[in-house]
Chains A and B, each alone.
Chain A
Amino acid sequence: MSERRPFHRPQPRDWWARPPYLAYTLRELSGVAVALYAAILLAGLVCLWRGPEAFGVYRRVLASDWSLLVHLGLLAGVLWHVVTWFQILPKTMPKLILRGQPVPPRQVTTIALLLALVCSTGLLVVVIAIGALS
């Protein structure tokens, strides 16, 4: 038994549901949306492996209104992830210095968000173009 008896500041059990920590909790919750989307894709892979009949069921489930609602919710969660991910990017990457001047964090976030916009719209445009040309 250690003689050390450090002081622990009392902390309510639901600290994570209160500001200012709520913002952190909501940011971390976006990870649930990302993982759920992966699980939906994995379920599709299972149905694909089981055969045409199982894949037909997967298609019907994904075409339902419930699925549309779920995916709109996931989209909202992932968009929140996009914004918060690039807000913390200046803190997680090495300091960026261009022409002897440090790039302000806000500018890093803006540029990264624009890059994300280009990537996502680019992917959509490419897939739609493939669909239109085939």
Chain B
Amino acid sequence: MTHITIHRGAPKRSIAPVFWLLFGAGGMLSALFGPALIILTGIMLPRGWGLPASFFDYPHVLAFARHPLGKLLLLAVIALFLWHGAERIFLTLKDMRAGTLSVLRMLTYGVAAVLTLATIALLLAIGF
């Protein structure tokens, strides 16, 4: 009787689930709170509609960005929204055969990664 041993390396792990998780988290956050966020920061705050005009002052916004909770909120919204958009744009451009996969990854995941790091750096530089 002969024994045959098959040597298999560990199954190759895919990194794709990480991107899917970020995509899903950003998609859910923007679906639940996105409309209100855009109305608040894009329309009401800059125009002083329904909110005190002082809320959009430099000292107020700085105090918000210096608070740990404010930092967490800003990072969650900016980074997760970016990763959500990156995943959608990547898959669509891939389906359109707009370029090689490595180029498309650089343009989408790459940009999202750089901007996420920039957001973290800015939030730290703004101080506590």
Q: Within B33-76, which residues are at the interface with A (CB < 8 Å)? A: 33-43, 45-47, 50-52, 55-56, 58, 61-62, 65, 74
How many residues on A have C-beta within 8 angstroms of the other chain's C-beta atoms?
53
Q: Within B52-110, which residues are at the interface with A (CB < 8 Å)? A: 52, 55-56, 58, 61-62, 65, 74, 77-79, 81-82, 84-89, 91-92, 95-97
Q: Within B9-27, which residues are at the interface with A (CB < 8 Å)? A: 24, 26-27
B58 engages A16 (CB within 8 Å) = no
Distance of A6 from chain B, by nearest CB (Å): 17
B35 engages A45 (CB within 8 Å) = no
Interfacial chain B residues near A96, Cβ < 8 Å: none
Distance of A131 from chain B, by nearest CB (Å): 4
Check A110 for interface membership: any CB of B closer than 8 A.
Answer: no
Distance of B102 from chain A, by nearest CB (Å): 20
B31 engages A75 (CB within 8 Å) = no
Interfacial chain B residues near A63, Cβ < 8 Å: 46-47
Distance of A35 from chain B, by nearest CB (Å): 3
Contact with B along A48-59 (1 / 0, CB 8 A): 110010011001
B32 engages A116 (CB within 8 Å) = yes
* Residues of A near any B CB (own CB < 8 A): 13, 16, 25, 28-32, 34-42, 44-46, 48-49, 52, 55-56, 59, 62-63, 67-68, 70-72, 74-75, 78-79, 81-82, 85-86, 92, 115-116, 119-121, 123-124, 127-128, 131, 134
